[in-house]
Chain A
Amino acid sequence: MSQPTRLRIAGGTVYDPANGVEGVVHDVCIEGDRIVAELPASAPRLDARGMVVMPGGVDIHAHVAGSSVNHARRLLPEEHAADPAPAPRLADGPPGRSGTGGTVPSTFATGYRYAGLGYTTAMEAAVAPLAARHAHAELDDTPIIDAGFFVLLGNDDYLLRQIAAGETVRARDYAAWLLGVTRAYAIKVVNPGGVAVWKGGGGGADGGRNVRGLDDAVGSSAVTPRKILETLAGAANALALPHPVHIHCNNLGQPGNAATTLESMRTLAGQRAHFTHLQFHSYGGALGKAWASAAREVIEYVNAHAEVSVDVGQVMFGPATTVTADGPVEQLLYASSGRKWVNIDIELESGCGIVPYAYRERAAVAALQWAVGLELFLLANDPWRVVLSTDHPNGGTFLSYPELIRLLMDRAYRDERLKGVNQKLLAGNALLDGLSREYTLGEIAIITRAGPARLLGLTGKGHLGPGADADVTIYANDADRAKMFATPRYVIKAGTLVVEDGQLRRAPTGRRLTVRPDYDAAVTKDLKRFFDEYACVGFENYGAEPVA
């Protein structure tokens, strides 16, 4: 079959929760790159009888392209050698490209593997503005998927200066300018203030390593993690960005950090905000003492506050690579693991830390993390605000999503797996009380496509109504949900049949997802002065726009 300009997906069982369709047998019609209400009977048909039809998957948070991801790739030659990815044999268009996999695949392999999984949109979750041009170049080499990225703010010197000076409006103009010049999609904040403190150097009572609480001073006493969160959440909402501020809270991975997470949520009560990889921020206990789950408290807050959305950041057993702008966290992980470690401080802006890692069933903390993630999923009331993620490749790779779906849909399987993990820290964990919930296919369609698309403000994604992007995934129904979701029979991206009978057959270029909010241009004069004073990349050369 050549690239269809028209296609009727006939007789499949459709899950389109955004349009209230749950398991209804009906045809889905495609014309060009859009879903249409109807087609003439003569239009080409794809027989989907007995199969499950969903919108293409949408990954709201993954580390797939850019400077820190490439540092991680460079660090993992053994993984790449162990997972070669020959070029796919494509039916038409330019020839396919080879690559390598592992936890941090090469760019072409990333695009092909997402598509092979039925995902057609992905958001790179953390790009330093200085390296935005690099991230776009990698996304240019990441085929099929529509992609965008979140640009890092919240530890950058210019923003912190505006907060110190009480210049909230200028801070907002700056954020808008930065989103535009870097061609980003949303604002990301990682460990607000903590990375700036880490980069500031040694000395001081606490060694100046990080912030601990929301009211710690970051340089000036007027600048605190709380003020940073308020400023950036306020900016994102005032600019009416399609996705609210995307927050990686302080104290990631520390016992007792649920208190910080809840305090961060309360600080922004009433405002839209997305809290990412919540699993890594939902621990009880105390620093230097025992770990415990605090998933119930955290998810109960989320359940009760409609303005809050989250993705889970599930930990999956097996190899992972931790890669984050949260430099100080990785230094601690390196100190405890003793493995390879990359730290890169990024001028005036952000950090970057990388440690290869493995989560093992027999390790007490890994077992706790695994259980906390599942608790969050299973105790969540509103699937529209609790998105499936592994914080790829931090908690596991995106290739583990099908296994995660099985854990959510199949209680017997989950209980069996639970028996095999270290129980030391699981006392009081809701999973042990026999959480009986099993996600339905409709709920899986929400947490893997309809929900993230809505939270990202991607109105053409995550649903199959007329006018939607023609991104469709068709699965052979299988009681083994891991198998079913790992190998879709057909994947259609923008109207092009990319996976056919389980084989990748076409690799069109994906679209770039960007925003360009308005701002008062006066901010650029002040920025130019700041660049002239401190930066060592020219103001005119900054960002990722084509140069004249």
Chain B
Amino acid sequence: MTDRSVANVTCLGCGCACDDITVVVKQDSIAEARNACALGAAWFGDGTVPAETRVNGRPASLEQALTEAARLLGGAKRPLVYLAADISCETQREGVAIADRLHAATDSLAATATTAVLAAQRRGRAGATLGEIRQHADLVVFWAVDPSTRYPRYGSRYVVEPRGVAAPQGRNSRTLIAVDVGESRGPADADGRVAVAPTDEVDGLEMMRAAVQGRAGGADARFRTVVELARRMTEARYVAIVADGEPGLVPADPARAEALITLAQALNGPTRCALSTLRGGGNRSGADAVLTWQTGFPFAVDFARGHPSYHPQAGAAALLGAGEVDAALVIGTPATLPVPVAAGLAGIRSVAIGPRASAATFQPAVAVDTGVAGIHEGGTAFRMDDVPLPLRPSLEGGGARAALVTVRALRDRLGA
């Protein structure tokens, strides 16, 4: 392959899925990912991935690996199919088809945001795509999160800096408020700050909602500043509340997740408001979307009864922890697995197909290395706000095996 650059590349380093990356390829490896943040640059790396195929730790042909994988999975009593990071929606669809055929339990990396997803299932959402917040928001409230750490370009590309149709001065058209909840702090450069004690957080959100709805708020001094913030929010034209959906410093609290949603919904009485829930990368939002359209449920789907059933409190980690699973298929980058899932997999026979599968710490019986979706193969991925984006491979045809083709071949072996 010749040196070249590929423009309009989508990065899956975090849920921002920035699609303005220009990848410069020199001597068959990535020399630069222009526009990418540090996380993105690390995600692209130099594009080098191992290309091993192993059965029981020994090098094998793809034929041998697929045969062993089909034998292992086809003979399992209680199989698990797990969708990890860095695969396209097209590959995720094949993975769910396999799970359906095997009557397997299924889960994905989307389960990291379980608390936020379940709260949205109970109450709904008041949301917007990121670009709409950019167009309209004049007041942005960062609720216990500074996106610059885990979602580095969230502010510069979407919600804070860029000019919007109703925010002609970009950053200067907006007021930023940081809500600091204990150690979970908002951005350092906010225009204003409000401190909330962690023990007062949920009550504070409820007090804010009461104030927005014009219900008598208590005169409790602890809530004076948040109630004042709520009043400010009702006076804004379009409010964005930014909160992290991924695990943080403290365990996720269902009541807090629900209170954030209902506050955002209530603000749509007197004004407009969108809650922006930050999600991680690797196309986990795609896994949520695919499972939802194919099964009706976003994660923790079990086909054991011959149809999808939903066990949000008994996903992959719980099933593995309870010793229920006797074989697993992991599709995607094993290194992205949540720790309890990886630990559980170490105790059972498994098949791993994905980027760096051969380096999986849980030592799969069958490991097939593939390329990374968005670097070595194309397809579709979802941004954290459920906007679909095409993937443009910069190193396609460079020797890395395509995950989609490999998983489809396994599906054929399994008659799925």
Let me know if B121 and A77 touch, CB within 8 A. Answer: yes
Let me know if B158 and A106 touch, CB within 8 A. Answer: no
Let me know if A95 and B20 touch, CB within 8 A. Answer: no
**Given that A100-B296, A200-B136 are known contacts, is A80 also in contact with B308, CB under 8 Å in the complex?**
yes
Interface members, chain A 331-349 (any B CB < 8 Å): 331, 334-335, 340-348
A216 located at the interface, meaning its Cβ lies under 8 Å from any Cβ of chain B in the complex: no
Interface string of A194-236 (1 = CB under 8 A from B): 0000111111000100000000000000000000000000000
Let me know if A540 and B8 touch, CB within 8 A. Answer: yes
Using C-beta atoms within 8 Å of the partner chain, give the interface range for chain B.
Answer: 35 or more
Interface string of A53-85 (1 = CB under 8 A from B): 000000000000101011101111101110011
Let me know if A73 and B296 touch, CB within 8 A. Answer: yes
Let me know if B390 and A201 touch, CB within 8 A. Answer: no
Interface string of A507-548 (1 = CB under 8 A from B): 000000000000000000000000001111110110000110
In the assembled complex, which residues on chain A have CB atoms less than 8 Å from the CB atom of B132? 199, 345-348
A206 vs chain B, min Cβ distance (A): 13
**Given that A67-B386, A106-B293, A202-B236 are known contacts, is A345 also in contact with B166, CB under 8 Å in the complex?**
no
Using C-beta atoms within 8 Å of the partner chain, give the interface range for chain A.
Answer: 35 or more
Interface members, chain B 127-144 (any A CB < 8 Å): 127-132, 134-136, 138
Let me know if B134 and A74 touch, CB within 8 A. Answer: no
Interface members, chain B 177-199 (any A CB < 8 Å): none
Task: Tell me the dominant secondary structure on chain A's binding face.
Answer: mixed
Give the CA-CA distance A225 to B96 in the complex, in Å: 44
Give the CA-CA distance A203 to B238 in the complex, in Å: 9
A139 vs chain B, min Cβ distance (A): 10
Let me know if B388 and A133 touch, CB within 8 A. Answer: yes
Give the CA-CA distance A334 to B305 in the complex, in Å: 35
In the assembled complex, which residues on chain A have CB atoms less than 8 Å from the CB atom of B289? 70, 134
In the assembled complex, which residues on chain B have CB atoms less than 8 Å from the CB atom of A346? 128-129, 132
Chain A's closest residue to B125 (CB) is A342
A239 located at the interface, meaning its Cβ lies under 8 Å from any Cβ of chain B in the complex: no
In the assembled complex, which residues on chain A have CB atoms less than 8 Å from the CB atom of B97? 97
**Given that A95-B101, A199-B272, A536-B157 are known contacts, is A541 also in contact with B8, CB under 8 Å in the complex?**
yes
Chain A's closest residue to B238 (CB) is A201
In the assembled complex, which residues on chain B have CB atoms less than 8 Å from the CB atom of A71? 125, 386
Let me know if A344 and B296 touch, CB within 8 A. Answer: no
Give the CA-CA distance A81 to B305 in the complex, in Å: 12
Let me know if B122 and A348 touch, CB within 8 A. Answer: no
Give the CA-CA distance A504 to B280 in the complex, in Å: 41
Let me know if B268 and A331 touch, CB within 8 A. Answer: yes
B134 vs chain A, min Cβ distance (A): 6
Interface members, chain B 1-51 (any A CB < 8 Å): 7-8, 10, 19-20
In the assembled complex, which residues on chain A have CB atoms less than 8 Å from the CB atom of B100? 87, 97-98
In the assembled complex, which residues on chain B have CB atoms less than 8 Å from the CB atom of A534? 131, 135, 163-165
Give the CA-CA distance A221 to B196 in the complex, in Å: 45
State which of A99, A198, A537, A538 has its C-beta within 8 Å of the C-beta of B307. A99
A42 vs chain B, min Cβ distance (A): 35
B399 located at the interface, meaning its Cβ lies under 8 Å from any Cβ of chain A in the complex: no
B123 located at the interface, meaning its Cβ lies under 8 Å from any Cβ of chain A in the complex: yes
Give the CA-CA distance A70 to B287 in the complex, in Å: 13
Chain A's closest residue to B21 (CB) is A538
Let me know if A95 and B19 touch, CB within 8 A. Answer: no
B61 located at the interface, meaning its Cβ lies under 8 Å from any Cβ of chain A in the complex: no
Let me know if A342 and B124 touch, CB within 8 A. Answer: yes
Let me know if A84 and B308 touch, CB within 8 A. Answer: yes
Give the CA-CA distance A289 to B92 in the complex, in Å: 52
**Given that A345-B129, A534-B165, A537-B19 are known contacts, is A134 also in contact with B272, CB under 8 Å in the complex?**
no
B85 vs chain A, min Cβ distance (A): 19
Interface members, chain B 106-131 (any A CB < 8 Å): 117, 120-131
Interface string of B147-175 (1 = CB under 8 A from A): 00000000001100011111000000000
A291 located at the interface, meaning its Cβ lies under 8 Å from any Cβ of chain B in the complex: no
In the assembled complex, which residues on chain A have CB atoms less than 8 Å from the CB atom of B134? 347, 536
Question: What are 30 A-B residue pairs whose CB atoms fall within 8 Å in the complex?
Answer: A69-B293, A73-B292, A74-B298, A77-B296, A77-B297, A77-B310, A97-B97, A98-B295, A99-B308, A100-B296, A100-B297, A106-B293, A108-B294, A130-B129, A131-B388, A141-B93, A157-B165, A201-B237, A202-B238, A335-B269, A343-B124, A343-B125, A344-B128, A345-B136, A345-B272, A346-B129, A347-B130, A347-B135, A348-B135, A354-B124
Q: Which residues of B contact A (CB under 8 A)?
A: 7-8, 10, 19-20, 89, 93, 97, 100-101, 117, 120-132, 134-136, 138, 157-158, 162-166, 236-238, 265, 268-272, 274, 288-289, 292-298, 303, 305-310, 378, 380, 382, 386-392, 415-416
16 new A-B contacts, CB < 8 A, other than A106-B293, A203-B237, are A77-B296, A105-B296, A106-B296, A131-B386, A131-B387, A131-B388, A134-B289, A203-B271, A334-B124, A340-B123, A341-B126, A347-B130, A347-B131, A347-B134, A347-B135, A534-B135
Task: Please provide the 6 A-B residue pairs with the shortest distance between their CB atoms, ordered closest to farther.
Answer: A347-B131, A202-B271, A80-B296, A100-B296, A201-B237, A201-B238
